[in-house]
Structure 1
Amino acid sequence: MFVSAETITTVISALGIVLTLGSSMLAGFAWCIRRCDRVEQTLGARIDAVAADTTELKIAMARLEGPQRHLIVAAR
């Protein structure tokens, strides 16, 4: 069986293009995953900070709305 040089060149160049496109798509997908993970970490830190602020706010509101202290005489 005889295969011409043009056919071999075409097959090799097609394989090169497929490998190049595949590797670039894989690298792009890996970059997207790393980028999403970084956003998730910063978002998690921001959510934790908001949770801590909310807890402090709840404690402050409970102190304001709670029962009056027994040792302090309220002015009427």
Structure 2
Amino acid sequence: MCQSGQRRQDHPFTLSLKLHVGVVPSDRHGYSYMSLHSSPHQRRMIAEINHPFHPHLVVMDGMEAFVDEGPL
């Protein structure tokens, strides 16, 4: 797993917050959560996704990070 460095300077790292994006259906109530990468509401969308989850521990490998467009 790699930590994600976002292009926006006001919140450059989402770290483990985007882990739960994979458990959200791709189209929920007519709104695609995969569009969060280009959304001006990215912070709110990530908060909505993580609202029902309360992990006690997240272990991450900080040896790799995407600093550009991410995996292509």
Specify the structure having the higher radius of gyration (Cα).
1
- TM over 0.5: same fold? no
Where is the strand percentage greater, Structure 1 or Structure 2?
A: 2
Where is the helix percentage greater, Structure 1 or Structure 2?
A: 1
Bigger RCO (CA 8 Å, 6+ sep)? 2
